[in-house]
């Protein structure tokens, strides 16, 4: 609010801008979110969504006709008004031309991820969803709560065979290439040149983003605020890592709307 021209506002998608749903493909942001993000992008230096979703999914849900989406450097003077969309925890982003660009480091892992998904699908219990997301595969047991132990054991086995790293989430676990890419590295990249930064997130995958805010505050002197967006499923570790806690996507949208109004 003090200096929007040098402030970054970054957030997660699922559980933060969009309610959690049983079928991941059916997730939609709250009404008004795309327009609010576009308004914020015209007022603040950097506004972006950093998600575990594929970047193309974010473009479809958040950019929409007539809106710009890009993953250009925060210091690029041409970035004004553009919404930064970064998917798969930083393994994909949208470039200045609106094209999805994968990180070059993930290409050698695509076949490995495909094989891992096949193994996981072979004997998955009914209700367990195996979702391939390019260079990552997520196993959801929201539709089969009793399958949690099977998922944990099977994912550990596949991780050991393939070298893919397991990352827990909301009633899910995701296997990803063991690369130095996460929401924390994205936050550090997008806040370059800024004097203040905020991140809103709801899940364990957002912890690296909150940790990055802590490093930016301690080392670079940024003014930072981490906002935990919680509901009944939120791991206590998420709230403990944040400076502020709000209730669900409605609470997150209220924070963003307040900032948009304050920035004038």
Catalytic positions are 12
CA-to-CA distance for 96 and 117, rounded, in angstroms?
32
CA-to-CA distance for 14 and 132, rounded, in angstroms?
17
Residue located via tokens 């849900």: 61
Question: What's the per-residue H, E or C state across 231-244?
Answer: CCCCCHHHHHHCCE
Contacts of 51 (CB under 8 A, 6+ apart): 12, 13, 14, 57, 58, 86, 87, 88, 89
The helix/strand/coil state of 129 is: strand
Residue 96 tokens, joined: 């200045």
CA-to-CA distance for 116 and 209, rounded, in angstroms?
27
Reported residue count of the chain is: 264
Query: By C-alpha distance, which of 234, 22, 24 is closest to 142?
Result: 22
CA-to-CA distance for 82 and 85, rounded, in angstroms?
9
CA-to-CA distance for 221 and 55, rounded, in angstroms?
31
């Amino acid at each position: 609010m003090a200096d929007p021209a040098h402030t970054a506002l970054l957030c997660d998608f699922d559980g933060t801008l969009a309610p959690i749903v049983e079928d991941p493909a059916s997730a939609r942001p709250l009404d008004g979110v795309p327009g609010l993000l576009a308004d914020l992008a015209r007022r603040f230096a950097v506004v972006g969504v950093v998600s575990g979703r594929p970047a193309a999914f974010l473009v479809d849900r958040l950019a929409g006709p007539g809106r710009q989406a890009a993953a250009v450097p925060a210091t690029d003077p041409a970035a004004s008004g553009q919404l930064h969309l970064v998917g798969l925890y930083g393994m994909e982003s949208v470039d200045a031309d609106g094209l999805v660009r994968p990180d070059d480091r993930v290409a050698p892992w695509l076949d490995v991820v495909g094989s891992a998904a096949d193994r996981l699908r072979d004997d998955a219990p009914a209700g367990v969803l195996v979702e391939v997301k390019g260079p990552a595969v997520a196993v959801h047991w929201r539709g089969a709560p009793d399958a949690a132990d099977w998922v944990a054991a099977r994912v550990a086995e596949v991780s050991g065979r393939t070298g893919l790293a397991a990352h827990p989430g909301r009633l899910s676990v995701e296997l990803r290439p063991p690369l130095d890419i996460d929401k924390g590295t994205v936050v550090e990249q997008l806040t370059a040149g800024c004097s203040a930064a905020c991140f809103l997130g709801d899940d364990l995958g957002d912890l690296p983003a909150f940790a990055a805010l802590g490093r930016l505050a301690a080392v670079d002197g940024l003014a930072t605020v981490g906002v935990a967006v919680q509901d009944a499923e939120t791991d206590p570790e998420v709230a403990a890592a944040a400076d502020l806690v709000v209730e669900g996507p409605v609470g997150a949208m209220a924070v963003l709307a307040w900032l948009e109004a304050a920035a004038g």
